[in-house]
Amino acid sequence: MGLFARVLTLNPRHAGALRRLTQVAGETGFTSSTEAASHPLGFRDNGNPIQPTAPPRPEYRPPVAPTAPRRPVARPPRAPSSSRSIIGIAEQVRLQPVPFNGQPAAKQSLTFRVAVMDRNGHRQGIIAVEMRSFRIQGNVENGDWVELPKVSRSGKVTSFRNLSTGGHIRTRLW
């Protein structure tokens, strides 16, 4: 605001400065723009500098707790082939050689987790699956839909279907 007063001291007929000072004087309660511009450092009211007012604060709203992003419903590609079958999405797939009878890398171990889905595509839980054999035929990757026909209590399986690729993964004995 002091800049408008300085402009008027240099050029008392400056239209823009006069217009703006008139607007500000009306907002602050001054009766004339000359009263507002009388001091070169800015506006004064009763000898005290006028402090700029802070913008009005918005209405207080309590913080909202962040919600977990909703997972999209993913429907299985087809219904289970039997009532005992488990359908889900393979996660953390890992195929690695394991020792057997003192020989390193004599067997293969395929381990992964299955995010079990119901028929409507809602997640039911996670189970750990392991397959061990001298040779495992077939392939499964992270994110593939799988169907497990029989799973033992320890999580061991001997075969399952990859519904994403249509492949059959099974163990092969020598």
pLDDT in tens, 76-135: 777 777 778 888 889 999 988 888 888 887 888 888 999 888 777 778 888 888 888 888
Q: How many residues does the chain have?
A: 174
Residue 152's pLDDT band, with cuts at 50, 70 and 90, is confident
Range list of β-strands (E), the chain: 44-45, 48-49, 86-100, 103-117, 123-133, 135-137, 145-148, 159-162, 167-172
Residue 36's pLDDT band, with cuts at 50, 70 and 90, is very low
Residue (of 149, 154, 153, 157) closest to 131 by Cα position: 157
Chain centre distance of CA 9: 58
Give the residue with greater pLDDT, 46 vs 53.
53
Give the residue with greater pLDDT, 150 vs 128.
128
What is the average pLDDT score of the chain? 75
Mean pLDDT of 18-46: 58
Prediction pTM value: 0.53
Percent of the chain with pLDDT over 70: 74
> Exposure of 145 by Cβ count < 10 A (0-12 exposed, 13-18 middle, 19+ buried)?
buried
Q: In what order do the strands lie in the sheet with 135-137?
A: 123-133, 103-117, 86-100, 145-148, 159-162, 167-172, 135-137
